[in-house]
Amino acid sequence: MNVHDSEKLSGSMEREGYLRAAGPDGADVVLLNTCSIREKASEKVFSELGRLRKLKDRNPDMILGVCGCVGQQEGAEIFRRAPFVDLVIGPRSTASLPALMERVRQGETDVSLRVDTEYRRDSIDFPYDQIRREGEAAGKAFVTVIEGCNHRCTFCIVPRTRGKEVCRGMDDILAEVGQLADRGVLEVEFLGQTVNAYRDDRGNGLAELLVATSRIDGIERIRFTTSHPAQMTERLMDAMAEAGPRVVPFLHLPVQSGSSSVLKDMRRGYDRGTYLAKVAALRERIPGICLGTDIIVGFPTESDVDFRETLSLMEEVRFHSCYSFTYSPRPGTASEAFHDGVGPEEKQARLHELQLVQKGIQERLHASWVGRTVEVLVEGASKSDASRMTGRTPESRIVNFTGNAVIGRMAPILVESSSAYALLGRKIEPEA
């Protein structure tokens, strides 16, 4: 989502005649797009601003802006801690960026626009034909369908920084996808903080959107993220099966904890048994589906028994990927007031143990792919080995392979070996 927000910022600037610079040195405008979901990410912003101050001192006319969730969250605090910053905007104010830039050019200081976090339809109506899409050359594109979140998880700052849910009309989304297909995009990924809460003014939900998108010529893969388990309905599962294989057999479904007690304290709206039942229902409808998740360790009320329940759930579900983090209190969230019964060293120890468990799960799962031929959407050169190319399977498995292939197109790959983090193989060449 942050990548797509940056694409919108770039598109907004290019629409006004700006060209992308090779780097911050010598740039006329430097914008930091920020995330505040964890404390560490938020503090990185101020560290980066300290580095950029040197550029600002050398080039006082350079406009320096802070965009995104830290801009929405901190506001005036950014100007206080970094008075050399020229403008601050929240994540729903991208379309207003050129007008705010002009105010800075006219000599106004401390220009800020942090949107009302109540329902605002205009905050999501960004002109999609003006988005600078980084992944389009690789045949992929992000498409925002819903912004904001109406859940009130006790640990999460997203409702405060992103606001309440607001959805685009389905016809508008389908028009954007059709335009992308005409430009050669093969894979679209629908985005939302709680994407499966999508429902437009005519009552179309994500299920209807998936089925309609699967009928657009040229689109071969459809993904969506991030889903909330409480809103993973049978209707949506049925639609995923109905629209398959274009709707890929992969789902990111954050569980956050394997303990019903902790889930209740997190105010997630489901318990361990409910989550496992949804996993079983998904696997019944979509055999071979791969699942990813998010897990927070060291939540204030998490006991060692609770943590062990999380580990056992991981072994039971066998997630193909897992983003795991230690809990950090976020300002304005309910859990900020909880007594934190887990010390920092214990948090790190639990995180280390959990990540070792997940690594073992991924090693075993990936080993089962060896010998299979998979279809990969080619993304470019591998970051870990320049002699190989890389791409992803429909199940979102990274495949690094030898052989020549066209970026942005599909290629058949024979998987020859694996690690916890990727599959290795070679492109299958057509017979002469």
Known binding site for [4Fe-4S] cluster: residues? Answer: 149, 153, 156
Task: Indicate the residue type of 188.
Answer: V
- List, in sequence order, every residue forming a beta bridge with 185; answer none if it has no partner: none
> Which residue, 208, 201, 198, is CA-closest to 235?
208
Q: H-helix or E-strand containing 194?
A: none
3-state secondary structure (DSSP) of residue 73: helix
Buried b (16+ CB within 10 A) or exposed e, 22-34: eebeebebbbbbb
Distances (CA, A) of 94 to 7, 66, 109, 201, 209: 10, 11, 19, 23, 25
The alpha carbon of residue 96 and the mean position of all alpha carbons in its chain are separated, in whole angstroms, by 23
Structure tokens at 255: 């569980």
> CA 307 to CA 299: how far, in whole Å?
10
Alpha-carbon distance of 40 to 251, in angstroms, equals 27
Burial class (CB within 10 angstroms; exposed 0-12, middle 13-18, buried 19+) of 344: exposed
- The DSSP line for 258-304 is S-HHHHHHHT-S--HHHHHHHHHHHHHHSTT-EEEEEEEE--TT--H
Nearest to 189 by CA among 138, 122, 262: 138
- Determine if the peptide bond prior to 245 is cis (ω within 30°): yes
Could you tell me which residues are annotated as the binding site? 149, 153, 156
- What are the φ and ψ backbone dihedral angles of 150, each rounded to 5 degrees? -95, -5
- Bridge-partner residues for 146, per DSSP? 167
